[in-house]
Structure 1
Amino acid sequence: MLNRYLLGALALLYTTCSLAQVPTIETFTNEMEKQEGFMPFYWDVRKGKIWLEINQFDTELLYYATLAQGVGSNDIGLDRGRLGGEHVVTFRRSGPKVLMVEPNYRYRALSNDPVERKAVEESFARSVHWGFDVVAASNGRVLIDLTPFLMQDAVGAIQALSRTKQGTFRLDASRSAMYLERTKNFPQNTEFETMITLVGDNPGGYLRSVVPTPTAVTMHQHHSFVQLPDDGYQPRAFDPRAGLNGTEFYDYASPVGEPLAKRYLVRHRLQKKDPTAAVSEAVKPIVYYMDPGAPEPIRSALMDGIAWWNQAFEAAGYKDAFQVKLLPPDADPMDIRYNLVQWVHRSTRGWSYGASIRDPRTGEILKGKVTLGSLRVRQDFLIAQGLVAKYEEGQPVSDEMMQLSLARLRQLAAHEVGHTLGLPHNYIASTRDRASVMDYPHPHVDIRNDSTLDLANAYATGIGEWDKIAINYAYREFPAGVNEKDSLNKIITNYLRAGQSFLSDQDARPTGSAHPQAHLWDGGADAVDELERVMKVRRIALNQFDEKKIPVGMPLATLQEVLVPMYLFHRYQVEAASKVVGGANYSYALRGDGQLAYQPVEGGEQRRALRALLATLRPGELVLPRPVLALIPPRPYGISANPREVFRGRTGLTFDPLSPAEAATGLVLALVLDPERASRLEAQRAVDTSLPGLGEVLDALLDDTWKNKVPTRESYQASVRRQTEQLLLQQMLSLAQASEASAAARAMVLFKINELKTWIDQKQFGVDEQHRAHYQFALRRIELFEKGQAEGVTTLQVNDAPDGAPIDSGQDWLEPVCGWEVP
């Protein structure tokens, strides 16, 4: 025992002596520039260092990193303004060291008992982000060298480059430095910015396309230390039916009979000046600031769309509680005090997205941050160009194309800001008369009596009815004495009675998903009816396609970029209709709320959808008008094509007339014969024999292609049909090998392959040379497949369709507010 006390005394003496040897802060920083504020710091111009003064220990604050200047490639994802994760941290002193410690807020005890809270804290790991040596001390305050912490790759750029196969990079400290223009101090937040350089060998194509010397990638990373909000914010319980994002944690103080998981809504703090008034101004309005870097008339359109949200807040009982303003010239876009809509440039078109910085303890949004890709509007214009353009020399261009583009920008801005207000996607809204800006909208094109196309109703204007419901649920303030839980539940029961609904990403994004009304980029109340209507629009667009779709003086070869979205104008409605096949109606039902839990789509409706999908595969729909084929020459010298924006052909420099049909056919077959859908078809048939099984679907596909009794005599159409038949065989062979498909589905497709083999074997004689070659090729593929040879002629390398999404809206994998987020 004596030895233990002796060791402790010696350790204390050593620590005291060590600290006594360090100078005072005043002496150490005598010739440095001091920045007062939330966390005082000193700029050492001689050493290029930041020295941070810590005057409060074991006090929680918020830290997060941001990419202030990006790389410019949508594929890499390192965009200007990209947010890193939030971290609640404390500075903890241990003798001559200071540790930056993050407590584990995923596991808590919501209890007044400190011992109970301590038990949970000690049961789960924390994270130490950095360790600092004390270099100076005065009256309980210490000074640390923050520079190495600031010079790290805080947003994971090295990992992003590796993940996207752009090379192996490391941070080069000799080419990195502080960036003082955006290193600032404010009363409630302290901001640091660094210019860091990553160096590496063998940079990938994405990087080579956007960096002047791609072995040295320089970007700006921003670090923010922010005072956490006070405890005046009241978290609101999450409800899966409410159409709002949530944050989840585990409360180990929960009674045994209650779930451990606790969920709060993610939302801004908003309070009425007069809580008793039906409509009141807010104590502090929610203000979003627009990046002045967006040019006109784009900027005004974006601000108009953002301002739509005030309609929803008015419906929730607030007056002017949501506002949009232009970012002041002296404001720092990285400052947490500004909810920001940023205009970002990339080398290729890509997603826009809405994210936020929030308090991980409560879900309170502290800063909304929207990133809008500048090239998206050009894709919208391209779609409009293909639909209505008639460029004539010396004649003004129709304003319809720009008006459609601006209308889409308004909706896009509202959509992404909606994410930062706490709303996820609502992909069923398009079937409810475009009830939400949180859906992905396809442009609605009407057909006039003279068979011309009308874009006047392409996109909805104003906030949707669903958006008002969600904002009402998230932000309505209830007077004292009103039961909040009952009032919130009433909002839900009222919207259910009114015929509104909510389904989000997991119900719409997977190609094999089941709900017949939850889709991306679709339109109309009925997926099948709308597919048939969209096919009529597509037919008109292709029949009217000519050289006037591009301005005079443009290379004719660039007609292909305009052609692609016209030829594939139906691609997303095909996806919508495919989900009716093997589909099921369901909801986010809670026990006792009376909603439908699960019910397969009626058999007749599934078969109607299948017939509409088969119609898209008929040669007459897949071939291009011959005048169009005569319009597109090889690319001229110096005018290269982005391979993502054109059909990938097999005929060298010349335009491949079969490649568009290959792309469209591949899309349809991959959707209809998706392994999950195939398995679901067999499962639904097992439960209810009135519903179609996989065998019936395969028979319908084979009867309409291989076994079609109506001969296709026109040579172009006959070639397209043979291509479709080989692609169908390819999809069947792939499904038979799909480990994720059920045994019943794989057994059925193998059975149908064998049936097809027998049919071809009997059919291959007495036909022309092209068909004999076609049949023998198919038989050889099946023979090799049966021998287990997966390569060679067994597998066709199907050319994918050119990029579609984002045709004109906001994220996907880049939208970090989608789905559950945990602190």
Structure 2
Amino acid sequence: MYGLLLAVGVSCQTQQIVTDSPKDVAKKPGQMKSDIKPYNEVITSEAKSDQGLFTSHFVGDKLYFEVPLELLEKDMLLVSRIAGVPAGFGGGYVNAGSKVNEQVVRWSKRGDHIDMKVISFENESEEGSPIYQSVQANNFFPILFSAKISAYNDNKTSAVIEVSDLFTEEVAAINGVSPELRKQYKVKKLDKSRSYIQSAHAYPKNVEVKHVMTYEAEEPPAREQAGTISMLMNQSMILLPEDKMQPRLADHRVGWFTTRKYDYNSQALKADDYEIINRWRLVPKDMEAYKRGELVEPVKPIVWYLDPATPEKWRPYFKQGIEDWNVAFEAAGFKNAVIAKDPPTKEEDPEFSPEDVRYSVVRYVASTTRNAMGPSVTDPRTGEIIESDIIWYHNHLRSYRNRFMIEAGAQNPAARSLETPEEEIGEMMRMVIAHEVGHALGLPHNMKASSAYPTDSLRDPGFTQKYGLTPSIMDYARVNYVAQPGDEGVRYIRMMGPYDLYAINWGYRYIPGKSAQEEKQILSNWILEKAGDPVYEFGSGYRGIDPQSQRESLGDDQIKASEYGLANLKKVVPNLVKWTSKDNQDYDDLEEVYRELGGMWRGYISHVISNVGGIYETRKTADQEGTVYTHVPREKQEAAIAFLNEHAFTTPHWLLNEELLGRIQASGSIENIQGLQGRSLDNLLDKERLERMFTNEQINGKEAYSPVEMMDDLRKGIFSELYKGTKADAYRRNIQRSYVDTAAEYIQNLEKEEPGEVTSTDIIALMRGELEQLRRDLRAGSSRSNDKLTVYHWKDLLARIDAALDVDA
């Protein structure tokens, strides 16, 4: 049933293709004269033409498409990407190459017009079933663009239309400025006088158009942009295959990028929603040999070309990163499934272009952006990945250079320089490319993978050289910060692991003779065979509740791993001046590395905080025993608070290295530490975290670590000077103020909250009771310190608490 549904989708199959020629629509009495002209009057000798899927013609500043009538009603994918952005656009998080929309379109003929309609395959039913007409009626396809036919070609097989307005008017569906950014930058309107089509190129299976969009904006990203936002957009129109690939039904226990569907013919008492995975079409070249268990080449391998701009020095590492995936595909029964190629010369392939959808390319972008991406273009009807352009931004080298120094400098001499040796930086680049290729193959991040390995195993050279830092290259576990000085021979850089082989086998193994629905039980059995083994578990890490599923976390014990990481940072800081300084240069690199080190400190702290009110998630289906969600044991949560009191909220004197700070800032160390500690405290006292703790207490009683106990332990740690009668330094005074202000803010926002928010939980009572307890303690102990400023500080806190509780002091 699923196989039929997925192949059909919601489509206008009852709509006939009209292929009238001009003489077929000859003027009848009372009709207006047709505007259709002879071909050579529209596409003149001045035209600059490019033949392909739709032949494109530039006549002056007008762009025409020559639409073959045989391609009317064919499914095409329209992909809108940002090709060039102004500095600071989207806060620096929107980069060239970012995809803003992906939609299926069909070109249709309507009298003397050609319409481009947006087609959805999300809602579907079997053609001929009673509900089919209703599904069609309630999913009427919008017209994105319409143009009058200007001419027909000589043999009447193509219609010529002008499409300039599609790319120079403001069309929301292909726009690069989101409604949120329009509001942020106070965009007034598109300025057509400064918007134009830059280029149009046609290829056998796609058409590419680049166009500049210029907007008037009151508050553009940067002041020097003078009330203007100009951006370069790239629109790709890709012909989708008529021979549809059989989809594979997704299972949330194995991580895949997916496409959602709604089946209105389901026997369930609802529109049955399900997902299909996004993957390339791999079919064994020798089916009988494949069935015998032999490794077989695919009919069409997955090929990535290197960008001609890729420096020769880095090409071997890029190619290795791509072809590393062949090990995983061998687990699925394929050999030579993934191939990396150098860019062809003009003599080898004069038609080669990275814009051609027939070629997937690893693009090397000269940009200050510190990132890499692995996007792909997917057929939403079946989940088939059509093409992928992986993007490597040149400045991403800087990210890995800095991280390697910060997290491995204490243990590894090779990391003690900004001139990272080629062997190490090349290996990092190789694994970044492998990670992005994983995305392009259909795999999302698996942040849970790293928790499968015992933390101390990452100090073992034999273990790390064989198994890496995590079972999956799709985890964020970039440098081994657990290893300590003296742990000779350990691996420092991530690599592919057993989960990757398992996931590729699950998604790509060819199962002949089975429909998508019939495959489902086979695929589920493969998962059940691995059930209970953490190496094969998946967790995206984006819900933020599972401490075992976090970005950059290493090992199964986040507290121990963070202790190891902090121990290394403390050894690195005194050496940063020496490791980053060069004669006749300033201290910009030192400042950058020190700032990023602070961010990693906060990351280690965050890994521990996630245990407080944390919930372990083990993805299961109803045929498996046990629960999906389990609260973190109270002893682990208590240990996390003890760690935070010792490492997060005490004064980090080791970060306040005078030799270092004296070179990069005149002042501001107090504010910097306040920012790091304050954000960590806000994270710890997050509303949703406290609510999970209340729920745990309600369910598990005394076995739970209650919010009252947590706040009591936290208060005793943060206000230890009050209870000991000792001096509180400036850094401690800041975190103590933050504690009081955070609790007070919950109470002061009481009347501002919408019904069902904080006011309907026990958080208000908790914070009020906590402040009342602290007020009693302050009154009893505020005069015990022999430091006058500390006494003033205690009195200031009393005033803040009284104001929060609305008490007449």
TM over 0.5: yes
Report SS of the residue matched to 2:583.
Answer: coil
The answer for the alignment partner of 1:770 in structure 2 is 789
The answer to whether structure 1 residue 670 and structure 2 residue 682 are counterparts is yes
Indicate conservation of the 8 Å contact 2:188/2:218, yes or no: no
Aligned length: 736
**Greater share of helix:** 2
Indicate conservation of the 8 Å contact 1:404/1:455, yes or no: no
Q: CA deviation at 1:589?
A: 1.2
The answer for the alignment partner of 1:751 in structure 2 is 769
Decide whether aligned partners of structure 1 residues 666 and 129 sit closer, same or farther in structure 2, where only a CA change above 3 A counts: same
| Counterpart AA for 2:581 | I
The answer for the alignment partner of 1:629 in structure 2 is 658
Equivalences for 1:323-342 in 2 at 5 Å?
Answer: 323-328=339-344, 331-342=352-363
Report SS of the residue matched to 2:235.
Answer: strand
CA distance in 2, matches of 1:94, 1:124: 20
CA distance in 2, matches of 1:73, 1:97: 41
Q: CA deviation at 1:490?
A: 2.4
Q: CA deviation at 1:313?
A: 0.8
Q: Which moved more, 1:377-386 or 1:496-505?
A: 496-505
The answer to whether structure 1 residue 49 and structure 2 residue 63 are counterparts is yes
Query: What's the Cα RMSD here?
Result: 3.2
Report SS of the residue matched to 2:472.
Answer: coil
CA distance in 1, matches of 2:65, 2:576: 65
The answer for the alignment partner of 1:360 in structure 2 is 380
The answer for the alignment partner of 1:266 in structure 2 is 278
Q: Which moved more, 1:727-736 or 1:262-271?
A: 727-736
Decide whether aligned partners of structure 1 residues 694 and 387 sit closer, same or farther in structure 2, where only a CA change above 3 A counts: closer
The answer for the alignment partner of 1:90 in structure 2 is 106
The answer to whether structure 1 residue 371 and structure 2 residue 384 are counterparts is no
- Counterpart among 217, 220, 226 of residue 232 in structure 2: 220
Equivalences for 1:667-706 in 2 at 5 Å?
Answer: 667-688=679-700, 689-706=702-719
| Counterpart AA for 1:149 | L
Q: CA deviation at 1:449?
A: 5.3
Indicate conservation of the 8 Å contact 1:531/1:577, yes or no: yes
The answer for the alignment partner of 1:649 in structure 2 is none
Indicate conservation of the 8 Å contact 1:557/1:634, yes or no: no
Decide whether aligned partners of structure 1 residues 15 and 534 sit closer, same or farther in structure 2, where only a CA change above 3 A counts: farther
CA deviations on 1:153-195 (whole Å, 9 max, x unpaired) are 5642333783483452543333343334xx222332233333x
CA distance in 2, matches of 1:231, 1:773: 78
CA distance in 2, matches of 1:754, 1:124: 59
The answer to whether structure 1 residue 589 and structure 2 residue 615 are counterparts is no
Q: CA deviation at 1:203?
A: 4.4
CA distance in 2, matches of 1:447, 1:188: 50
Unaligned runs of 5+ in 2: 1-24, 346-350, 411-415, 454-469
Indicate conservation of the 8 Å contact 2:254/2:503, yes or no: yes
- Counterpart among 661, 673, 692 of residue 661 in structure 1: 673
Equivalences for 1:203-602 in 2 at 5 Å?
Answer: 203-204=219-220, 206-208=221-223, 215-256=227-268, 260-276=272-288, 277=290, 278=293, 279-328=295-344, 331-347=352-368, 349=370, 351-386=371-406, 403-433=423-453, 434-445=470-481, 457-461=491-495, 463-480=496-513, 484-505=519-540, 508-510=541-543, 513-556=544-587, 559-594=590-625, 596-602=627-633
| Counterpart AA for 2:528 | T
CA distance in 2, matches of 1:50, 1:172: 22
- Counterpart among 100, 105, 121 of residue 116 in structure 2: 100
Indicate conservation of the 8 Å contact 1:444/1:455, yes or no: no
Indicate conservation of the 8 Å contact 1:289/1:326, yes or no: yes
Pick 1 or 2: higher relative contact order, CA cutoff 8 A, min separation 6. 1
Q: CA deviation at 1:520?
A: 0.8
| Counterpart AA for 2:561 | E
Decide whether aligned partners of structure 1 residues 771 and 239 sit closer, same or farther in structure 2, where only a CA change above 3 A counts: same
| Counterpart AA for 1:667 | R
- Counterpart among 721, 739, 763 of residue 728 in structure 1: 739
Percent identical across equivalent pairs? 21
Indicate conservation of the 8 Å contact 2:400/2:428, yes or no: yes
CA distance in 1, matches of 2:695, 2:618: 20
Equivalences for 1:96-175 in 2 at 5 Å?
Answer: 96-109=112-125, 111-113=126-128, 116-137=131-152, 139=156, 141-152=158-169, 155-159=174-178, 162-163=181-182, 165-168=184-187, 170-175=189-194
| Counterpart AA for 1:495 | K
Indicate conservation of the 8 Å contact 2:282/2:299, yes or no: yes
CA distance in 2, matches of 1:660, 1:399: 28
Indicate conservation of the 8 Å contact 2:365/2:391, yes or no: yes
Q: CA deviation at 1:38?
A: 1.9
CA distance in 1, matches of 2:29, 2:582: 78
Q: CA deviation at 1:495?
A: 2.4
Decide whether aligned partners of structure 1 residues 734 and 425 sit closer, same or farther in structure 2, where only a CA change above 3 A counts: farther
Report SS of the residue matched to 1:470.
Answer: helix
Indicate conservation of the 8 Å contact 2:405/2:418, yes or no: no
Decide whether aligned partners of structure 1 residues 710 and 343 sit closer, same or farther in structure 2, where only a CA change above 3 A counts: farther
- Counterpart among 39, 44, 59 of residue 25 in structure 1: 39
CA distance in 2, matches of 1:296, 1:52: 40
CA deviations on 1:781-820 (whole Å, 9 max, x unpaired) are 222223499xxxxxxxxxxxxxxxxxxxxxxxxxxxxxxx
Q: CA deviation at 1:521?
A: 1.1
| Counterpart AA for 1:66 | R
- Counterpart among 181, 189, 193 of residue 206 in structure 2: 189
Report SS of the residue matched to 2:531.
Answer: helix
CA deviations on 1:454-498 (whole Å, 9 max, x unpaired) are 89622223x221111111111101244796333312221222254
Indicate conservation of the 8 Å contact 1:61/1:228, yes or no: yes
CA distance in 1, matches of 2:150, 2:736: 75
Report SS of the residue matched to 1:624.
Answer: helix
Q: CA deviation at 1:235?
A: 0.6
Report SS of the residue matched to 1:774.
Answer: helix
| Counterpart AA for 1:62 | L
CA distance in 1, matches of 2:405, 2:268: 63
Equivalences for 1:796-811 in 2 at 5 Å?
Answer: none
Decide whether aligned partners of structure 1 residues 348 and 298 sit closer, same or farther in structure 2, where only a CA change above 3 A counts: same
Report SS of the residue matched to 1:59.
Answer: coil
CA distance in 2, matches of 1:221, 1:26: 31
CA deviations on 1:576-596 (whole Å, 9 max, x unpaired) are 222222222232211012354
Indicate conservation of the 8 Å contact 1:38/1:188, yes or no: yes
Indicate conservation of the 8 Å contact 2:191/2:216, yes or no: no
Q: Which moved more, 1:402-411 or 1:692-701?
A: 402-411
CA distance in 2, matches of 1:16, 1:39: 35
Decide whether aligned partners of structure 1 residues 51 and 602 sit closer, same or farther in structure 2, where only a CA change above 3 A counts: closer
Decide whether aligned partners of structure 1 residues 758 and 232 sit closer, same or farther in structure 2, where only a CA change above 3 A counts: same
CA distance in 1, matches of 2:306, 2:36: 48
Calculate the TM-score normalised by the size of structure 1. Answer: 0.82
Indicate conservation of the 8 Å contact 2:217/2:229, yes or no: no
Q: Which moved more, 1:163-172 or 1:58-67?
A: 163-172
Q: CA deviation at 1:149?
A: 1.1
Indicate conservation of the 8 Å contact 1:37/1:186, yes or no: yes
Unaligned runs of 5+ in 1: 1-10, 391-395, 636-652, 790-823
Report SS of the residue matched to 1:500.
Answer: helix
Q: CA deviation at 1:607?
A: 1.2
Decide whether aligned partners of structure 1 residues 221 and 229 sit closer, same or farther in structure 2, where only a CA change above 3 A counts: same
CA distance in 2, matches of 1:62, 1:546: 53
